[in-house]
Structure 1
Amino acid sequence: MRVIVAGGGLAGFTAALRAVELGARTTLLEKGGLPGGSFLLSSGYAWSYRDLPTFRREAPGGDPGLQNLILERLEPYIGWLERQGCPVLSRETGNPLTFGARLDPEGTVGALARRIADLGGEILPNTALDGLLNDTSGRVTGTRTNHGDELAADAAILSSGGFAGNPELVSRHIIGGPGRMRLRSHPRSTGDGFLAAQAVGARTSAGMDEFYGRNLPAPPAEFSPAEFVEVSQLYGRHAVAINTRGERYADEGADWSETALTRTTARQPGLRAWYVLDAAGLEGRVRERTAGEMVEAAKRAGGTVLETPTLEELAEALAKHGLPRDITLRTLREYNQAVADGRGDELSPPRTGPAAPARVPPFVAVEVAPTITHTVGGLAVDERCGVLRLEDGGPIPGLYAAGVEVGGVSTGGYTSGLAAAVVFGRIAAESSLGH
Structure 2
Amino acid sequence: MGSVHPEINHGRRDLIKLGAAGMGVVLLGEQALAEPKKGVKFDEEYDVIIVGSGFAGIACGIKCAEKGYKTLMIEKMGRIGGNSVINGGIFCVPQNDLQKKAGIKDSNELFIADCMKAGLGINHKELLETLAKRAHETYQFTLKYGAKYLDSLVHEGGHSVPRTYQTAVGSGAGIVLPLMERFEKMAGVALKTRTKFDDFVMDDAGRVIGILAREDYRFDSKLFSDDLENQGGTPKAFKATKAVMLASGGFCQDKYYRAVQDPRLTPSTDSTNHPGATAGVLLKAFGIGAVPVQVSWIQFGPWACPDEKGFGVGSMFNVNASFRYGISVDPKTGKRYMNELADRKIRADHMFAVIGKDENYPINLCDSQAIERLLPDHYEKALKAGILKKFNTLEELAQHYKMPVEAFKKTVTDYNSYVKAGKDPEFGKPTNMVDGITLSKAPFYAMRGTPKLHHTMGGLQINTQAQVIHSKTHQPIPGLYAAGEVTGGVHGASRLGSVAITDCLTFGMIAGENI
Where on the TM-score scale, by shorter chain, does this alignment land: which range? Answer: 0.7 to 0.9
Partner of 1:369: 450
- Given that 1:162 and 1:193 are in contact with CA atoms closer than 8 Å, whether structure 2 keeps it comes out as no
Cα distance, 1:330 vs structure 2: 6.8
Q: For 2:425 and 2:151, how far apart are their aligned partners in 1?
A: 37
| Other structure's SS at 2:479 match | strand
Asked whether 1:53 is paired with 2:112, we answer: no
Structure 2 CA distance for aligned equivalents of residues 243 and 383 of structure 1: 47
- In 2, the alpha carbon distance for the partners of 1:273 and 1:395 equals 46
Output the CA distance in 1 between the equivalents of 2:439 and 2:480: 53
- Equivalent pair of 2:302/2:449 in contact (CA under 8 Å): no
Query: Which residue in the other structure is 1:417 paired with?
Result: 500
Residues 358 and 100 from structure 1, CA distance in 2 versus in 1: closer, same or farther, beyond 3 angstroms? closer
The one-letter amino acid of 2:177's match is E
1:28 aligns with 2:112: no
CA distance in 2, matches of 1:387, 1:343: 47
Q: Give the alignment partner of residue 192 of structure 2, picking from 121, 124, 142.
A: 124
Distance in structure 1 (CA, Å) of the matches to 2:502 and 2:336: 33
1:321-367 Cα distance to aligned partner (Å, 9 max, x none): xxxx78x98798689769968999775xx443229997999887521
Q: 1:77 to 1:246 in 2, by over 3 A?
A: closer
1:18 CA drift (Å): 1.8
Equivalent position of 2:347 in the other structure: 261
Encode CA deviations 1:153-197: one digit per residue, 9 max, x unaligned.
Answer: 342211012113323344454784336454434322222332222
Deviation per CA, 1:191-231: give whole Å up to 9, x if none.
23322222223223347424374523322x47996x46655
| Amino acid aligned to 1:30 | E
Mapped contact 1:231–1:297 kept (Cα < 8 A): no
Q: Are the equivalent residues in 1 in contact too, given 2:93–2:139 (CA < 8 A)?
A: no
**2:180 is matched with which residue?**
109
Which residue is equivalent to 2:207? 139
1:209 aligns with 2:297: yes
Distance 2:352 2:205 in 1: 42
Q: Check 1:158–1:306 CA distance in 2 against 1; reply closer, same or farther (3 A cut).
A: same
The reply on whether 1:97 has 2:156 as its aligned counterpart is no
Residue 289 (structure 1) aligns with: 374
CA distance in 2, matches of 1:232, 1:310: 18
8 Å contact from structure 1 (residues 231, 301) kept in 2:
no
Question: Which amino acid is the alignment partner of residue 162 of structure 2?
Answer: L
Contact residue 367 and residue 442 of structure 2 kept, 8 A: no
CA displacement 1:41-85 (0-9 Å, x = unmatched): 2454433222322212321133322222222223334444554xx
Counterpart residue identity of residue 261, structure 1: R
> SS in structure 2 opposite 1:145?
strand
Residue 322 of structure 1 aligns with which residue?
none
> Which one of 107, 121, 133 corresponds to residue 72 of structure 1?
133
Ranges in structure 1 where 5+ consecutive residues have no aligned partner: 320-324
User: Structure 1 residues 338, 181: closer, same or farther in 2, change over 3 A?
Assistant: same
1:5 equivalent to 2:35? Answer no
Distance 1:113-1:393 versus aligned 2 partners, 3 A rule: same
Larger deviation, residues 417-426 vs 128-137? 128-137
Partner of 1:163, secondary structure, is: coil
Deviations 1:96-139 (A, max 9, x none): 63266845542222112111xx2x12222210112323356543
Unaligned residue ranges in structure 2 (runs of 5+): 1-45, 96-106, 155-160, 168-173, 215-233
Q: How many residues align?
A: 410
How far apart are the structure 2 equivalents of 1:224 and 1:261?
17
Q: For the residues of structure 1 that align with 2:47 and 2:329, how far apart are their CA atoms?
A: 52
2:316 and 2:379 in contact (8 A); partners too: no
Q: With the length of structure 2 as denominator, give the TM-score of the two structures.
A: 0.65
CA-CA distance at 1:88 after TM superposition: 3.0
Partner residue of 1:353?
430
- RMSD over aligned CA atoms reads 4.2
**SS of 1:240's equivalent?**
strand
Give the alignment partner of residue 404 of structure 1, picking from 485, 490, 493: 485
> How far did 1:12 drift?
0.9
Q: Which shifted more, 155-164 or 169-178?
A: 169-178
Separation of aligned partners in 1, 2:509 and 2:441: 52
Change (3 A) 1:212 1:20: farther
State the TM-score, normalized to the length of structure 1: 0.76
Q: Distance in 1 between matches of 2:139 and 2:447?
A: 38
Asked whether the 8 Å contact 1:213–1:371 carries over to 2, the reply is yes
Question: Which of 385, 388, 408 in structure 2 is aligned with 1:301?
Answer: 385
Q: Deviation of residue 294 (structure 1)?
A: 6.1
Q: Residue 149 and residue 105 in structure 1: after superposition, are their counterparts in 2 closer, same or farther (change >3 A)?
A: closer
| Aligned partner of residue 113 in structure 1, secondary structure | helix
Deviation at 1:282, TM superposition (A): 1.5
Note if 1:388 corresponds to 2:453: no
Identity of aligned residues (%): 21
Residue aligned with 1:241, SS: strand
Q: What is the Cα deviation at residue 368 of structure 1?
A: 1.7
Which 10-residue stretch deviates more, 293-302 or 191-200? 293-302
